[in-house]
Amino acid sequence: MIKLSYHEYSLKPFTNLNSVSAGLPRSGALIKVEWPQGLVGYGDLHPWPELGDMMLADQLAALKKGKITPQMEQTIWLARKDADLRKKGKTILSSGEKVRNNYLVSNYAEIVPGFLDELKRAQFSTIKLKMGRDLAAEANAVTRIAAAGFKMRLDFNSACSWQSFERFFSGLSPQEKVWIEYVEDPFPFDPDSWMDAKKLVKIALDSAYDKVDWDKMIKAPFDILVIKPAKMDVDKAIERCKKFNLKATVTSYMDHPVGSMGALAVAMECKENYPNLMLDAGCMTYRSYQMDQFSATLNTSGPYFSSIKGSGVGFDLILRDLTWQKLN
């Protein structure tokens, strides 16, 4: 029987993280998993109730009663990957193919003079921009990003209607559209409307993943699948990508640095095993929060993670000194 412990944390965002959040501190819990054979690994449980996840307190309460939620199941799965590497004394950076990450812009207001020049010097090539607050201002941001020569991933978090999205996209110039790699969750999932949107631009599926009737679907009304290991069965997602001829990107869940590193481990493994299927990753979302003792230890070189202190996902000394509460 495995032993489970948790440590609750709070992350302080710099700004509203997307069109469905209010920019308030976000709560989550690090999960310590101990297996009978002496393996110990760590995962991150960071629910987004705004996107339909069960509240943190409810998930922890369920676990104390012996019930494992789907999100907790993924947390334990990621912790096992961490534990296996720790036993070998290796880090995730030694266990897969090196991956490039996009740069996340949570709010168009972040794009101040000199900002894009700085990203260019850091050798980022792709910007993911959270959309849906002010489409006119965001259209101006798209113009500036395109002029600077960055590929774009526009994430609407289903904030638009089909009509407002079509109006927004039609207002962009051909020179701007060519820089858009894909549009993520443009409006609430509807197969017919998404198929129409797919005629305008490549569409990526994220939050509506569980609303898709995968067994009955013949042709996908989207081109790319956003794989979030924090809440999604990765092997099943990859099989669906193969079946429907989709590309995929692995991203973290705008969660704790432990979560970011867990997602990176999966991104590297997928890149190594399915090089023609995988697009650049999005595992640097921890930068959306004020620095803490965890994020302060992460080393990056532009769009790449360059080194990790410790073993597995890292943070050995910090994790050792945390106060852990038993779950079972």
Catalytic residues: 130, 228
Do the beta carbons of residue 28 and residue 34 sit within 8 Å?
A: no
Let me know how long the chain is. 328
Q: Is 288 exposed, middle or buried (0-12, 13-18, 19+ CB in 10 A)?
A: buried
Q: With left for phi above 0 and alpha for psi between -120 and 50, is residue 26 left, alpha or beta?
A: beta
d(CA 103, CA 287): 9
3-state helix, strand, coil in the chain (%, to 5): 35, 20, 40
Q: E-strand spans in the chain?
A: 3-11, 26-34, 40-45, 103-105, 126-130, 151-155, 180-184, 203-205, 224-227, 247-250, 299-301, 304-307, 325-326
Do the beta carbons of residue 179 and residue 152 sit within 8 Å?
A: yes
- Secondary structure class of 233 (helix, strand, coil): coil
Closest CA to 312 of 72, 98, 93, 3: 93
b/e map 191-224, b = 16+ CB within 10 Å:
eebbeebbebbbbbbbbbbeebeeeeeeebbbbb
Q: Residue 226: how many CA atoms within 13 Å on its side-chain side?
A: 26
